[in-house]
Structures are given as C-alpha cells and as structure tokens.
Amino acid sequence: MDTTPPILNPWKIFGHDWAVTMLQQHLAHDSLRHAYLLTGPAGIGRRTLALRLAQAINCPTPAAPGVPCQTCRTCQQIAAEKHIDLMVLRRPEDKKDLTVEPIRELTRLLVLKPFASQFKIALLLNFEDANSSAQNALLKTLEEAPAHVRLLLTANNPEQLLPTIVSRCEILRLRPLPIPSVIEFLTRQGLNPEQAHLFGHLSGGRPGYALQLSQNQKQLAFRAEKLADIRPLLSAKRRERMAYAEILAKDKESFHQTLLLWLSFWRDVMLCAARSSAPLANIDQADLLETLGEALPLHSARLVTESLEQAIERLENNINARLLAEVILLDWPKLTL
C-alpha cells in the first residue's frame, strides 16, 4: 500500500502551495485583487495556476471557500479555455508580438456584463510578448477595471513589462521547485524512475516543462542532436565552425532553441569546473560535462555561458543571426576530446 503523503494542495495543483494558500484566502475573505501578475520561467505552472484561480473565482459549487469543485460545467469549460466569461489572449503563432488591436477588442468586451458568472476574467498569457502599444492599451482597464472584471497576466519576469503595468497588479513570483519534488511528481504521472530522474533534472524545477518534454519526442530528438554537436564543434577548425554557424542561423527559432540548450549545458560545465555540489541539469551528459570541467578553468566556462546569455538577448532584439552564430562559435575554446 502506498503510504506516501499526497503532494496536492486544496486546488489539486502541484507545487506553489504558498500561492494557492494566499489566493484561497483572498477569495475566502472577499479580498480578491482586480489584477494578478504571475511570473516565473516557462513550464513552471503560471497558466495552470491562473486557470485554477479563474475556476475558484467563478465556480458555482465550491468544495470550500476559495476551493473550486473542478467537476461542474463552469470549471471544466474554464480548464479547456472555453468558458463564455473567460477571455484568453496570447500572441498568435504567426506573429512576432501581441499587437494593440486584440487588446482594444478585449477592453471593449470587458465593459459588457458577464453572461453566466459573477465575473468576467481576462487571461493574458506570456504578456511579455505584447509590444509597448499593446501594453499601454491595457493600462486604462488596469487602472479603472469594472467591478465585474478580474485580470490575470503571466510573464517570465516583471522586468519585461512596462512599470506602469506591473505597479497595477498583485505580483506572484513562482519559483522553481526542488528537483526531488519534480521527480516525485513525474513518477506519479506514470514515468518510470529513470525517466523521472532525467526529466526532473532537465526541467530545472519546472514540473510543467518536465512533463511536456517527456511527451515530446521531436523536442527530445532535437535536444539530442544539438548536444551531440558540441563535442565535434570544440575540436572543429575555424572553417568548420563558420560552416556550422551558417546552417544554424538559417532558422531563427531553431537557433534560439539551440542557444537555450547550449546555455543549460555550459552552466553545467561551470558547476563541474567549480566542483559544485549543485545538481546538474543535463545528467545524461555527465561524462562529457565532467571531462570539460576538468579540461577548462572556471573562467573559460563562465565566458562561454555569459556569451550564450548575451546571444539569446541579442537574437531576441533581431541582431544579425549569422554574425551572432559565428561570433559565438569562434569564441568557444579549442579542445580535442
């Protein structure tokens, strides 16, 4: 018989118990804020927590004060993002940002009374994707929200939004969870111990990302390919690195994802070089990581890591992708492993 204590709080959501408790108390004591900003890295559970809050706000048959039943028609429709009084806004996949027109349409609709619930809820996902005009267009609603409106925003961090947006929201900063907790969560989701151990470490404490990664064979294959390229690139000649950079830069999204993978890898190299006891993310690459940690001084690993961090930011600012790829790879140390 499994005697392991349950890991779910009253909202039946994994992790972030402090945030659940605070929001539940806001609801139970009728002190709900008009706008909340949920921040944290992608895959940490921002959207899940926001949808559960939306359920708790409008559930007609709560299991307890501030606790949605999650079984009624309203809760199920909110979970599927299909409730008539829930408006979900995110950047279209074919657009580089969220523009002002959808925000203006949203603010127009929010003025109307709810159709079936007590509140109209606007869920603005990854609001860092909104350009400055779109963010400014939301300000008036944030400042003078109708009594029947609640706004829920998510973003990687508050610094990516206009200060005027941030100052008008209650901020909940979601932090990565302990790796053992994520491993336990994945085991309960049906992953075998080896899979749970690997994806728990790869997640960096983000349960949603861990679960998504475990189910995405294409993403796993992409990761394996790009990490496998690191060893030959380190021993490659200048001409070979330039040729690789040219290919890498042709697809901006693939380039961006590659930089994120390499950044995670080189942070692990830093940990090995520093002889740190902190857990590695890429534990399936432990042999290569330890070899590089022995071969490179800490400052060299740090320089590569910092250059990747800067490259990600520059790529997002539309710097010439090919030139960026060339600079990154030419600055890597030359090693024969």
pLDDT at position 96, please? Answer: 85
Q: 168 has which bridge partners?
A: none
Q: Where are the beta strands (DSSP E) in 105-195?
A: 120-124, 149-155, 170-173
- Cα four-point dihedral sign 268, 272, 273, 275: positive
- pLDDT over 70 percentage in the chain: 98
pLDDT at position 8, please? Answer: 63
Q: Above 70 in pLDDT, residue 334?
A: yes
**Rounded mean pLDDT of the chain?**
93
Q: How confident is the model at residue 5 (pLDDT cuts 50, 70, 90)?
A: very low
Q: In 10 A of CB 94, how many CB atoms?
A: 5
Residue 44 in tokens: 């940490």
142 vs 337, residue with greater confidence = 142
Q: What is the mean pLDDT of residues 74-101?
A: 95
Distance CA 193, CA 200 (A): 10
Q: What is the mean pLDDT of residues 34-53?
A: 95
Q: What is the mean pLDDT of residues 218-223?
A: 95
Q: What is the mean pLDDT of residues 286-294?
A: 96
310 vs 336, residue with greater confidence = 310
- Cα four-point dihedral sign 213, 219, 225, 227: negative
Q: Above 90 in pLDDT, residue 310?
A: yes
Q: Write the DSSP symbol of residue 98.
A: B
pTM (2 d.p.):
0.84
Question: For strand 120-124 and strand 86-89, is the pairing parallel, antiparallel, or unpaired?
Answer: parallel
Give the burial class of 163: count Cβ atoms within 10 A of its Cβ; 0-12 exposed, 13-18 middle, 19 or more buried.
Answer: exposed
Q: Above 60 in pLDDT, residue 314?
A: yes
CA atoms within 13 A on the CB side of 56: 26
Q: Above 80 in pLDDT, residue 7?
A: no
Q: Above 90 in pLDDT, residue 3?
A: no
Q: How confident is the model at residue 313 (pLDDT cuts 50, 70, 90)?
A: confident
pLDDT at position 1, please? Answer: 34
pLDDT at position 196, please? Answer: 95
Q: List CB contacts of 129: < 8 A, sequence separation 6 or more.
A: 90, 91, 97, 98
Q: Above 90 in pLDDT, residue 316?
A: no
CA 129 to chain centre: 13
Q: Where are the beta strands (DSSP E) in the chain?
A: 35-39, 86-89, 120-124, 149-155, 170-173
